[in-house]
Structure 1
Amino acid sequence: MTLDEKLAQLVGLWQGVDRDGGAVAPLQDAMDTVEQGFAEFAAQGLGQITRHYGTRPLDPSEGLSALAAKQQWLRKNTRLGIPAIVHEECLTGLAAWKAATYPVPPAWGATFDPALVERMAARIGRVMAGLGIHQGLAPVLDVIRDMRWGRVEECISEDPYHVALTGAAYVRGLQSAGIVATLKHFVGYSNSRAGRNLAPVHAGEREVRDVLEFPFEVAVRDAGARSVMNSYAEIDGVPVAASAGRLTATLREEWGFDGTVVADYFAVAFLQTLHRVAENAGEAAAQAITAGIDVELPTGVTYLQPLQERIADGRLSMEVVDRALERVLRQKAELGLLDADWAPPSGPAPDLDTEEDRLLAASIAERSLVLLRNDGLLPLGDGAPAPRTIAVIGPNAESVPALFGCYSFINHVMPQHPDIEPGLRVETVESAIRREFDRAKILTAQGTGVDDGATEGIPAAVAAAYDSDVAVVVVGDRSGLFGRGTSGEGCDVDDLELPGAQRALVEAVIATGTPTIVVLLTGRAYAINWMLGGAAAVVQAFFPGEEGAAAVAGVLSGRVNPSGRMPMSLPRGAGGQPYSYLHPPLGAASSVTSIDTAPPVRYGFGLSYTEFAYEDFAVGAREVDAADVIRCAVTVRNAGDRGGAEVVQLYASDPVASVTRPLAQLVAFERVFLEPGQSVRVRFAVPTRLLAFTDRDGRRIVEPGEIRVSVRRDAGDVISEETLRLTGAVHHVDGTEARISTVTVSAPSSANAARPLEESV
């Protein structure tokens, strides 16, 4: 291969971006994007085609035909005839016009159901494969650290074990369909200063390795992820895009990763323009490819002419280019793109939003809704007369975009095309409530906008509440990009009050004395402690997707028994951020500070319309070798009068260690559905590897000593606790040990009970 042909395989091509509608990538307008036609740019070949479907509204069948033509052109008109890898965003479903759109990752986390996430990802992958796509830019494995960060809505949880299990499930699902999963954003991105996007990260190496890297390690070693995307972050002054320590030493040499590392969009150029560790584009390219970034995305800004000049004058060895090229060609071979008989898909595009998709989206949405408060009002009509008049109030009650995250096509691309239909059949919360309570009179009032601060509509909302038996106030976020929303990429905040005048609206409705239900459609958790004391009920819905409105209405009526659990702690206020329940003793409230760190609602919390009892918690042995497995079990019984799902949570704590440790950390969980009176025995096998930490000498170890294990309703609500001792010598962790717990559940005690629809989808 000539040098031109080699470099062509290391870049993408992004065409069709609407510059007038607002950027869809960071600092897109400041970058020198490609203006050449496809044939001119790809004359020597092409590594990747960037977001063919996800850049503008494109009819799927027309898009499939156009993509096939591009691939056939590469086959016939370049000397080597190598097709391109096609990548798309797919965080909440394929980000393409008319494609099914699922709940956002915090909603996945709220389900505590990795198997369901795996099914979703497999379905997304099958749709992508049918459209000739090879690589998906998901999942996001950043651990939530600061609720002010706009991209919280793209993250699964604040707990790294929770992120690891759920993210690995997504990887397995997507790759089961032959699609390359891309882990984002390796590493540290979510730990940015003050919750600002693309801000410096100041984290100790122990925090990076023990918390932020763990989900990526599991996804690479256990789930076999085939691609990784670098973080935009700079950690302690070193940009990840130029860090051989992160991208080569850790990722490849320690973890054994042998897939491709792709640049986050324009990240290589940012080494010059943002981080200023490179004098020019060629130096930026040399630093990135030497560190381990194989492919420049979204297009060839630095890896073509600037990199070629570095090689020509001898400042960069050809061996570095060949290393990246080998990885790219190996991946293309794995995808079948180098096979002599390869041909792109043709014919009519598959249906991108089938009934199967909608049933799956509904199941995830229903299981993700978290009931934060209920004074007995919910479910409506349960043991009391059904409401005759319901006021449905708030800026998100009749909003379709309020159900979706910023990486949905509806919020990512469609705002730039206001004259084109969204392409999805989506019900609003107001219309879903109207359908669910078809005998009730529905009064509506917006009250205020999401973030405009307008209050002139509040009196009409108050009047509607006065005239109703129940008020449902639907508030929260509008997701968007780079300041065009209140949540999403580049939509960071410096306080955690509900945006705009929404708090004033909620307080005014509560003050009417009409029983008030608040529904939160958000991408992050807000500081709503004031609301928990006044509203009759509060339902947290993290952007629940195309079937989310029906799920919300189902929780209000009781058709759906809420079973979601908080994947993040509810903040007390912006002043307590960053926050994680995984803090050591020094992070707890104390007499030497006036700031209370305790969250109003803890990680793992969620109410149900039934009650669950825990019995007979026991550990298998009081002494366990430090390199072995901790075994314990508990019986869970539905002590209420209706079927429901419980999330059984197992935590561990290390009271005394050579470095400070969290007060408690999640080490296993299991979602179980039980009919009234049913019980199951849940057995956990927890590898001691989950208690490992980086010691004072930088080694990953498991220390002998006392360990406490507890079953809890949330991170702080201890039901039962047992103590055991790890014995033997200090265990030095390597890559061979299990990184996840094994959970087995006995058959329900009443085995003949019918399995409900909610759990059978």
Structure 2
Amino acid sequence: MSQYAGPAPHSPRVEALLARMTLEEKQAQLVGYWVDQGVEVVAPMSGEKKSSSRYEDASANGIGHLTRVYGTRPVDPVERAAWLWAEQRRLQRETRLGIPAIVHEECLTGLAAWKAATFPTPLAWGASFDPELVEEVGRAVGSSMSALGIHQGLAPVLDVIRDPRWGRVDECIAEDPLVVGRVGTAYVRGLQSEGVHATLKHFIGYSASKAGRNHAPVSAGLREIEDVLLPPFEMAIHEGGARSVMNSYVDIDGVPVTADARYLTGILRDRWGFDGVVVSDYFAVDFLYSMHRAAADSADAARLALTAGIDVELPSPDAFVTLADQVRDGRLPVEVLDRAVGRVLAQKEELGLLDADFDTPPTAIDLDPAEHRALARRLAEESVVLLSNDGALPLDPHVASRIAVIGPNADSAEALMGCYSFVNHVLAHHPETPAGIELPTVVEALREEFPRSEITSTNGCDVEGAGRSGIPAAVDAAARADVAVVVVGDRAGLFGRGTVGEGNDVDDLELPGVQRELVEAVVATGTPVILITMTGRPYVLDWALPPRAGAAGTTTGLGVVDAVASTSAPAGIPAAVLQTFFPGEEGAPALAGLLSGRVTPSGRLPVSLPRSAGAQPYSYLHPVLGGRADVTSADPTPVRPFGFGLSYTTFEHDGLTVPTTVAAGDTFRATVRVRNTGRVEAADVVQLYAHDEVASVTRPVAQLLDFRRITLAPGTETLVEFDVPVDRLAFTNRDGVKRVEPGTIRLWVGGACDDEETVTRFEIV
């Protein structure tokens, strides 16, 4: 691993400010304040953690951050902007140093504010395998934030998925660190191109918690941390220039990350050269005392966190209010305090806050313009994964037919949104308030897409609960229809309010409630069923899918039988199955377009489709003994693997070539011919995988080295080139050093991680 030079010294202006400040003024710059915090539980344990001081008192010496000015309750954006501009002017004029506050907001699925566009959840970003489009989305989100005077966004989440039982999977991008890093870095670039600082979270290990339980301990080893969990953060810092990082809540091998200088300083700053600001996840500093019991009191927690490398306590001053007194009584060196304050002042200088003009707030703003909705629809369209199809799809919109639309997510706008969308995160506490944006449901979108058809709708059951009273009506509707579209899945929320989202962890991976019973009852009518799962995590769907065409290691592309050749589904299963991960405000029209054939499916699974909850945690990045083996009767093989996805056409990949020898430290070029052998234009996600055949430590049976989205007309072909740094094959060896070892590498391209459609080998020398 390369070593990087330390951060540059602060500017003379920052140094001069720092020299003038009193201890109270320094302390004030290291805390946020949640001005609007009320009874709503919109952050972990926020109902129990209230700031101990009034805002007027807390900001008398200035303030570091203003927390979720727009994102705590439904406020009119223009009216709120007027308040914010006035408050920034007050900080400039009525505090001794006149330093404005950084305003931060959540922006995981778009700006989490009333009337703002809501994009697909990050798991859908991963399914698109389209970093360029995600960068455009980040730029759009950043433009809205910048116009409202917001300086920092708490996204993206770069936790690599390790266990789908974890409730926060819908906030993550993929189970592969390269996909997480590349897509997440693209979002960073987009957001920061508009002058809004991205915040990488959650550093580090959050997604590796035991049994997929939120905040649970982590027992990850050195190689998992170095080779899987850290790379996305390093990429986003070095290639994306991310300016802020947020810690994770967990402890790793007994040491809470909030107080672990090995990560927050040793890796982040000393090794990687990060010179931005580290902010605490909400209440994480005080959790050292109240939850981890690794501190004697809040003051002890504050000292531990600041010394380890936490610069700012969010969302409000709970523990850091003790810092000034701790410097006075000698418990905390003033140099440690000054280190953090200097970083915050440097960030404010970089953001232009030290010279900002707050005289003219915006008088009109559209946070959901047509161009944002167009981006939301494109991303939704690209992220839907076709898991099976016996030829039932696409449906012909020109034929008058009877379509029964069934399921708890069929006519629900909330079902389209992730946990950190404003609709599910905040408006759930304000049911009297309209969404403020257009949110067509699947039923409404299908009526628009299929104007000649007779469309009926019934829920059949709820997302949660054991109520079955609606199933007979659903069966009757399906029996009288030509086709049934059944839309099932999750309802995102927090801490028990919903089936997925922060704090909504599960111990099985069956569809919630009685939704499987609903699907099976509708399928039993004999009417062709199109099943749509709209979820925040992958569920066990072996009961709804046919056996997968092809097998690992074959030389034919996977999915050909599913996509084209088969004439009917096996008895008792849907005719086609589509997986979508909370597709956002334009998700329903996107799905309707996929059903009609106006759009051709191109999404690929960013996370393995599990066989059972008992097989978790599971990752496609497993060594030989991490998969199916004769030495155990337990089979962890996923029902559909990472990278899998069908289309309305077929693609062939052949002629993979690479130099026979490659030197460590170099970059090699791999080329593969891709041909659209079907009848419609479509996008293919070309995936390049590798396996290190003999190494000093066990290596994954497959590792994604590169990927590319390409669009081909029917009957055409192209040569795809990948320029791959050999360092991508580096791993942490027995001595704890990350390096590339000489040896034979098997390389392949195919329709999923285990599909070796075209294969070659080369030697690292």
1:150-169 pair list within 5 angstroms: 150-169=167-186
CA distance in 1, matches of 2:345, 2:664: 43
Which of 157, 171, 182 aligns to 2:188? It is 171
Deviation at residue 343 of structure 1 after TM alignment: 2.9
C-alpha contact (below 8 Å) 1:242/1:287 kept by paired residues: yes
CA distance in 2, matches of 1:616, 1:196: 45
C-alpha contact (below 8 Å) 1:108/1:166 kept by paired residues: yes
Farther off after superposition, 673-682 or 423-432: 673-682
Which of 335, 343, 346 aligns to 2:361? It is 346
Which of 18, 28, 31 aligns to 1:11? It is 31
Q: Which runs of 5+ in 2 are unaligned?
A: 1-20, 547-572
| Aligned residue in 2 for 1:194 | 211
Q: Does 1:559 align with 2:598?
A: yes
Q: Does 1:484 align with 2:497?
A: yes
C-alpha contact (below 8 Å) 1:632/1:685 kept by paired residues: yes
Q: Does 1:502 align with 2:515?
A: yes
| Aligned residue in 1 for 2:589 | 550
CA distance in 2, matches of 1:347, 1:97: 16
Q: Does 1:426 align with 2:439?
A: yes
Deviation at residue 677 of structure 1 after TM alignment: 1.9
Deviation at residue 34 of structure 1 after TM alignment: 4.5
Q: Which runs of 5+ in 1 are unaligned?
A: 728-761
Q: Does 1:24 align with 2:42?
A: yes
| Aligned residue in 2 for 1:327 | 343
Q: Does 1:678 align with 2:694?
A: no
Letter in 2 for 1:224: G
CA distance in 1, matches of 2:409, 2:156: 27
| Aligned residue in 1 for 2:274 | 257
Deviation at residue 586 of structure 1 after TM alignment: 1.2
CA distance in 2, matches of 1:4, 1:515: 69
CA distance in 2, matches of 1:596, 1:387: 45
Q: Does 1:400 align with 2:438?
A: no
CA distance in 2, matches of 1:721, 1:285: 55
2:202 match: secondary structure = strand
| Cα deviations by residue, 1:408-454 (Å, 9 ceiling, x for unpaired) | 00000001111111111110001111111111111221110001221
Which of 467, 472, 478 aligns to 1:459? It is 472
Letter in 2 for 1:608: S
Letter in 1 for 2:345: L
Which of 305, 330, 336 aligns to 1:314? It is 330
C-alpha contact (below 8 Å) 1:132/1:344 kept by paired residues: no
Deviation at residue 345 of structure 1 after TM alignment: 5.3
Q: Does 1:622 align with 2:660?
A: yes
1:278 match: secondary structure = coil
C-alpha contact (below 8 Å) 1:394/1:448 kept by paired residues: yes
Q: Does 1:2 align with 2:15?
A: no
Q: Does 1:374 align with 2:374?
A: no
CA distance in 1, matches of 2:477, 2:359: 57
Deviation at residue 307 of structure 1 after TM alignment: 2.2
C-alpha contact (below 8 Å) 2:118/2:376 kept by paired residues: yes
Deviation at residue 387 of structure 1 after TM alignment: 5.5
C-alpha contact (below 8 Å) 2:148/2:362 kept by paired residues: no
2:746 match: secondary structure = strand
CA distance in 2, matches of 1:33, 1:195: 30
Letter in 2 for 1:644: A
| Aligned residue in 2 for 1:751 | none
C-alpha contact (below 8 Å) 2:750/2:756 kept by paired residues: yes
CA distance in 2, matches of 1:344, 1:378: 56
Which of 59, 78, 88 aligns to 1:61? It is 78
| Cα deviations by residue, 1:493-517 (Å, 9 ceiling, x for unpaired) | 1100000000000000011111001
2:104 match: secondary structure = strand
| Aligned residue in 2 for 1:363 | 378
| Aligned residue in 2 for 1:474 | 487
| Cα deviations by residue, 1:567-593 (Å, 9 ceiling, x for unpaired) | 000000100111100000110111222
Letter in 1 for 2:323: L
CA distance in 2, matches of 1:406, 1:156: 14
- The TM-score with structure 1 as length reference comes to 0.93
| Aligned residue in 1 for 2:227 | 210
Deviation at residue 39 of structure 1 after TM alignment: 2.6
Deviation at residue 35 of structure 1 after TM alignment: 5.1
2:88 match: secondary structure = helix
C-alpha contact (below 8 Å) 2:147/2:362 kept by paired residues: no
Q: Does 1:664 align with 2:702?
A: yes
| Aligned residue in 1 for 2:671 | 633
CA distance in 2, matches of 1:34, 1:461: 53
Q: Does 1:275 align with 2:292?
A: yes
| Aligned residue in 1 for 2:692 | 654
1:714-753 pair list within 5 angstroms: 714-727=752-765
CA distance in 1, matches of 2:227, 2:661: 25
Deviation at residue 687 of structure 1 after TM alignment: 0.5
Letter in 2 for 1:514: T
Letter in 1 for 2:206: Y
CA distance in 2, matches of 1:30, 1:309: 25
Deviation at residue 221 of structure 1 after TM alignment: 1.1
Deviation at residue 719 of structure 1 after TM alignment: 0.8
Which of 253, 261, 282 aligns to 1:244? It is 261
Deviation at residue 611 of structure 1 after TM alignment: 1.2
| Aligned residue in 2 for 1:691 | 729
CA distance in 2, matches of 1:722, 1:505: 47
Q: Once the two structures are aligned, what percentage of the paired residues are identical?
A: 58
CA distance in 2, matches of 1:651, 1:347: 49
C-alpha contact (below 8 Å) 2:303/2:323 kept by paired residues: yes
CA distance in 1, matches of 2:678, 2:641: 23
Q: Does 1:297 align with 2:310?
A: no
CA distance in 2, matches of 1:97, 1:32: 24
C-alpha contact (below 8 Å) 2:86/2:358 kept by paired residues: no
| Aligned residue in 2 for 1:602 | 641
CA distance in 2, matches of 1:720, 1:605: 16
| Cα deviations by residue, 1:225-248 (Å, 9 ceiling, x for unpaired) | 000000001000010000000000
| Cα deviations by residue, 1:513-541 (Å, 9 ceiling, x for unpaired) | 11001011100000011011311000111
1:450 match: secondary structure = coil
CA distance in 2, matches of 1:172, 1:344: 29
C-alpha contact (below 8 Å) 1:71/1:344 kept by paired residues: no
| Aligned residue in 2 for 1:750 | none
C-alpha contact (below 8 Å) 1:12/1:297 kept by paired residues: yes
C-alpha contact (below 8 Å) 1:426/1:547 kept by paired residues: yes
CA distance in 2, matches of 1:554, 1:56: 34
C-alpha contact (below 8 Å) 2:489/2:533 kept by paired residues: yes
2:354 match: secondary structure = coil
| Aligned residue in 1 for 2:539 | 526
Q: Does 1:133 align with 2:150?
A: yes
CA distance in 1, matches of 2:145, 2:691: 43
Aligned-residue CA RMSD in angstroms?
1.1
1:172 match: secondary structure = helix
Which of 589, 599, 608 aligns to 2:628? It is 589
C-alpha contact (below 8 Å) 1:387/1:470 kept by paired residues: no
C-alpha contact (below 8 Å) 2:653/2:750 kept by paired residues: no
| Aligned residue in 2 for 1:734 | none
2:387 match: secondary structure = strand
C-alpha contact (below 8 Å) 1:397/1:430 kept by paired residues: yes
- The TM-score with structure 2 as length reference comes to 0.93
Letter in 1 for 2:500: S
Letter in 2 for 1:451: E
Deviation at residue 381 of structure 1 after TM alignment: 2.5
CA distance in 1, matches of 2:399, 2:754: 36
CA distance in 1, matches of 2:359, 2:591: 41
| Cα deviations by residue, 1:262-304 (Å, 9 ceiling, x for unpaired) | 0000000000011110000000000000000000000110111
CA distance in 2, matches of 1:344, 1:483: 44
